[in-house]
Amino acid sequence: MRKWISFPKQVGTASRQAHADFPEEAIYEREAGRSGFFGPATHFHHTHAPTGWSDWEGPLRPRCFDFNQLSGTDSASPWVAPHLLFNAHCKFRIWHLNEPMKRLARNADGDDLLFVHEGAGELFCDYGHLTLRDGDYVVIPRSTNWRIEPTAPMQLVMIEATNGAYQLPDKGLVGNHAIFDPACLDVPEIDEAFKAQYSEDAWKVEVKRHGQVSVITYPYNPLDAVGWHGDLAPVRINWRDIRPLMSHRYHLPPSAHTTFVADRFVVCTFVPRPIESDPGALKVPFYHNNDDYDEVLFYHAGDFFSRDNIDRGMVTFHPAGFTHGPHPKAFKAGQEYKKKFTDEVAVMLDTRDALEFSEAAVSVENPDYVNSWKEKKE
């Protein structure tokens, strides 16, 4: 048995509670925490912004990638799309699909999470048929046969739970129906569209295992189920079905927006919500050292209120080991409380193990992102 060393204590001038009613002489709050936002934490009050560095040397730095500029991600096979960020438990890809998949895909390495950033299409799999649109998440269980027929050119984010599985977060005190009701999870149907693709023509299945692809040929279409029963199946939910937790008096941590959990990483979704209205409450994300997790944000749509010069389709990366938080202009706007509502949609990936970057990712990096927290002189 073990437990965290815990001795809640206050030293010097500090607020009574986290994220609210800061001392007048120290308006910058910094959270140093463990185990994501679930472990012990201390809140510092500073007279200068914790991101106010004047220079930075070395590889540990915040990074920004413009994945709109990627080349070589168009393919009828998901396994051609390159790894962009990855570790032993997680693989992050961007995949462009502009034509129907000519072969079935099967991932024997782990569950896949697809997020439809652009476009629409029809998903056919062992379990039946689902129609996809922008903003959809689809969890595809390990070793499921599947293919997609786009009805509009698609750009998909793919996050593999390598040797793992996706599950839902424990919603605790707020109950099972908070954030989204499980009744909103759609599963494939054995409908007329699915029956119409039954075929005695030969089909190939591309099976990925240990990162290598094998091809299995069938003299018929193996998507030939006439029915199924059980509690294992692909599930779909759209970000528009997510109803975020909110408090008008307290800025909730990113963990309150968790959508899926896997082994050693989580996926969260930030969707439009009211901004905190209490005069003393923090109104932008707090500066924090999330010292056990790397943080990745994929920007899907809207106005990203804590970031400057970030467009849809971009990705920011904030590694464990340094303080990060809102850009200066966003922090000032939060103090002035001019904006009453966020209109951003973003997908966050938090990984317990350090992420690596492929050459493809580095090729579209903005090396000046580390300097974006510097105060611009009028």
| Helix ranges (DSSP H) in 161-266 | 192-195
CB 335 within 8 A of CB 282: no
Angstrom distance (rounded) from CA 131 to CA 115:
13
- The reply, when asked if residue 19 is annotated as ligand binding, is no
Residues 6+ apart with CB under 8 A from 317: 62, 63, 64, 65, 85, 294, 295, 296, 355
Three-state SS at 85: strand
Q: Which sequence positions are flagged as catalytic?
A: 251
Residues 6+ apart with CB under 8 A from 50: 28, 30, 44, 287, 323, 325
CA dihedral 18, 334, 350, 249 (to 10 degrees): 40
Burial profile 144-155: b = 16 or more Cβ within 10 angstroms, e = fewer: bbbbbbbeeebb
What's the residue count for the chain?
378
CB 128 within 8 A of CB 189: yes
Provide φ and ψ at 245, rounded to 5°: -65, 140
Task: Specify which residues 145 forms β-bridges with.
Answer: none
| Residue (of 7, 9, 44, 6) closest to 26 by Cα position | 44
Numbered residues of the known binding site for homogentisate: 324
Numbered residues of the known binding site: 288, 294, 324
Numbered residues of the known binding site for Fe cation: 288, 294, 324
